[in-house]
Every structure is written in structure tokens, then in C-alpha cells.
Amino acid sequence: MDHRTAFITGASSGIGRELARRLAREGIEVAISARREDELRALASEIAAEGGRARVYPLDVANPEATTETLHRADRDMGGIDLVIANAGVSNHRWSGKLTYQDCAGIIDVNVRGAVATLTALIPAMVERQRGHLVGMSSLAQYRGLPSSAAYSASKAFLSHFLEAVRVDLDSTQVTVTDIRPGFVRTPMTADSTLAMPFLVDLDDAVTEITAGIRARAAVVAFPWQLASLMRAGTLMPARVYDGAVRRIRKKKR
């Protein structure tokens, strides 16, 4: 990759952690960020042992002001950040008949407000420097509202539309925007899930897809292709047909 530096949120585990290790192996100095400082320190030590360079920035992206300030500080510390990856994300599963605002609040704070704060913090600086790459970790869940996932599906739909609009706006600049849309990936977030997870992807394979997309500066990276194709096809279904299909799937699960 031609990136010199990268800032990654949600780097203490799962996709973010493996992404940081992979980018560091490619010679990129990584700023790793998450709430769990001990996990970040351990990761930084692993990266250093492998010959890479990592800086630790403890952060809860649910605080947008702290997020903006932290990215500005890292940008100064590292002589300019070339690649920003808004990876931090949370999910829960709640039947909408019992849904409350509190069930949705944490998802909105992290997946929407946190992602936007992360992605917008350095846009003016990147445009001025005429270089930069913004990456958002969306999901195949953004294509349609999924059962028991109202807040999560909506948060990812917001992120994908946000990234698309920013990409269109920045088309005349040297700033690239990439929307990553994974399906189900074998991570700590999915380890305890009781939901069906068709076409489950191993973490290492998922990170290979993601880094290839970043390297190619792709607009959208959606995988695995089988599930991505089904979800895209689902967007063409009228509401009545989609509702009936989801209802049959839920009956089969019972």
C-alpha cells in the first residue's frame, strides 16, 4: 500500500485488531484505538515484536468530541494520517415488540455518531494535503431491515449512505472513500450469537478481503459474494414479498 500511516478504531479485538497487525506488517505505522487500553498495549507489543510500529490512543468513540480531538492529536503526532478506518461497532438483537430507546442508544452512539466523528475529523486536512483514504466498516445488514436488528440494520444503512455521499462529494479531490460491507465473520462479536450465520467467513479471510479492497481503493467491498448477492437481490423485492420471505425463514428456524 502507499499509505504511510493509519488510524483504526475498535482495534482491541476482532477485525480491527487483525487489520492493525496486517497493515503494520505492510510497513504502515498504525494508531490503534479502543476503550480497552490493556488490550491495545498488548497489541502494540505484538506489532513491535513483528517489526512494526504502533501508537496507542485509548478512546470511546461514543464521545464524538473526544474522538475528533484524538484524531487531531494523532494526526499531529504522526505527521499526517493517510488512512482512517472507522471500524468500531456494536450490535444487539431485540424483537421490536419489546424494543426501547435504550436498546438502540448504544448502537446509535457508536455506529452512527462515533463513525461520523471518526470519518469527518480529518477530512479538511486530507483535502488540503491532497491525499487521504476514509474507510467505514458497514455491513451487508445495511441492504434491508433484518429481524431483531432494527437499530443495527439502520445504523449500517446510515453509514453506507453517508460514505456514498462523501465519496461523491470528494470525487474531485485526492481523498478516497471505501465502504466495507462484511457478512458474518468469525469474531468475538459473533462467538455467542444464537442466530443463523450463513456463509460464515473466517477472520483471516475477511481481513484479506478488506485489505485488498483498501489497496485497490475500491468504492465498495461486499463479501462473501454469495451472501452479498442475496442481499443485493433482496433490495429489489417489494415490501410484501420481502416480509413474506423473512416470515418463512423465521418459521424454519423454529
Task: Say which of 101, 143, 152, 242 is annotated catalytic.
Answer: 152
Annotated active-site residue 57? The verdict is no
What is the DSSP annotation of the chain? ---SEEEESSTTSHHHHHHHHHHHHTT-EEEEEES-HHHHHHHHHHHHHTT--EEEEE--TTSHHHHHHHHHHHHHHTT--SEEEE---------GGG--HHHHHHHIIIIIIIHHHHHHTTHHHHHHHT-EEEEEE--GGGSSPPTT-HHHHHHHHHHHHHHHHHHHHGGGSSEEEEEEEE--B-SHHHHT--S--TT-B-HHHHHHHHHHHHHTT-SEEEESHHHHHHHHHHTTS-HHHHHHHHHHHHHHH-
Catalytic annotation, residues: 152
